[in-house]
Amino acid sequence: MISAITVNYKTIDYTLKMLESLFAHHDSTGLEVFVVENASGDSTEELEHRFPQVRVIHNKTNLGFAGGCNVAIKEATGDFIVLVNPDILFDDNALEQLEGKMVTSPDVGIGGISLKNLNGSQQACVWAFPEPLDQYLLLLKLNHPFPRLTPFKRWLMRGFDYSQSADVDQVMGALFCIRRELIEEIGFLDERFFMWYEEVDYCRRAKNAGWRVRYFSDITARHKKGASFDRVLTIHKQALLRRSIRRYMFKHHGALAGTLFLFSEPLFWITGLVAGLVKPR
């Protein structure tokens, strides 16, 4: 069985559309669905009226994406836990297809699919693990004027063939399937990542434990991308991004790399402020 989990934070309009598309294309008898209202203030009255089969969990405080997911993961009973962003739209039974792939690939701990933009074009949804250099350049905002720099090409996997399924370092967390056995082995999402890089960290932990991370090219869904943060000021998003990258560096690249990012925070704050002025949201 599949346990689908969505964290709602000021995205109830997207969440309703996602659920409508989900139940239009999936057999609800083999599916349990959780929506975690992460103390955003959104009313779930319409959701609970239209989708009584959905279990709604109301958090008293905003636990972040990882914390919100973990609340539901602890209650889920499925063999596969699928984290689904509110801005996903299903055009077919993608989750059932994904379950089938995972069942026949018992050494795959994490599965991702081909995510499309709303117009049907391919969305970048596979990356290599981040390294200190590419993340440092990212926080300096050099990815905008110099997108072809070698560190960015490596990390963003420019030229990856999205038409072919492949083992990869990480898949996008917008639709992120986790095998229950993996959770039992390595634990839950790291809640110290309030937002962003929690799925990167989880993929790294999975691969360190000997599991495969697999991108399935022949399963698709549409993804608006960034809906949860359309309503958040860029300066706040930049602060969350810096904190998550810094935590990732300390955790996976050691004290020296982490300290470099910590001491560079004033510089990154300035570039983040500039980014907020150029693009407020």
Taking only the tens place, the pLDDT of each residue in 1-46 is 999 999 999 999 999 999 999 999 999 888 999 999 999 999 999 9
Residue bearing the bigger pLDDT, 233 or 126: 126
| Predicted local confidence at residue 273, as pLDDT | 82
Q: How far apart are CA 244 and CA 266, in angstroms?
A: 16
Mean pLDDT of the chain: 95
Question: Which pLDDT does position 274 carry in this prediction?
Answer: 78
Provide the pLDDT for residue 229.
64
Confidence of residue 272 (pLDDT cuts 50, 70, 90): confident
Q: How many CB atoms lie within 10 A of CB 276?
A: 17
Q: Is 145 helix (H, G, I), strand (E, B) or coil?
A: coil
Q: What is the largest CA-CA distance in the chain?
A: 53
CATH code 3.90.550.10 region(s) in the chain: 2-125+162-227
- Looking up tokens 């072809």, which residue turns up? 148
Residue 271's SS3 state is helix
Mean pLDDT, residues 262-274 taken together: 91
Q: 168 near 142, Cβ under 8 Å?
A: no
| pLDDT the model gives residue 225 | 81
Looking from the CA of 176 toward its CB, the CA atoms found within 13 Å total 26
Q: What is the pLDDT of residue 228?
A: 65
| C-alpha separations of 83 from 76, 112, 225, 235 in Å | 12, 10, 14, 26
Q: Which amino acid is at 82?
A: V
Q: Once rounded to an integer, what is the mean pLDDT over residues 255-268? A: 97
pTM of the model: 0.95
pLDDT-derived band at 176 (thresholds 50, 70, 90) equals very high
CATH number given to 2-125+162-227: 3.90.550.10
Give the C-alpha separation, 280 to 186, whole Å.
38
* Mean predicted confidence (pLDDT) in 114-122: 97
Residue with tokens 């991308």: 225
| The amino acid at 212 | R
Q: What is the pLDDT of residue 231?
A: 61
Structure tokens at 8: 């709602």
| Residue 69, pLDDT score | 98
> Is residue 62 pLDDT above 90, yes or no?
yes
Taking phi first (over 0 means left), then psi (-120 to 50 degrees means alpha), and beta for anything else, what does residue 68 get?
alpha
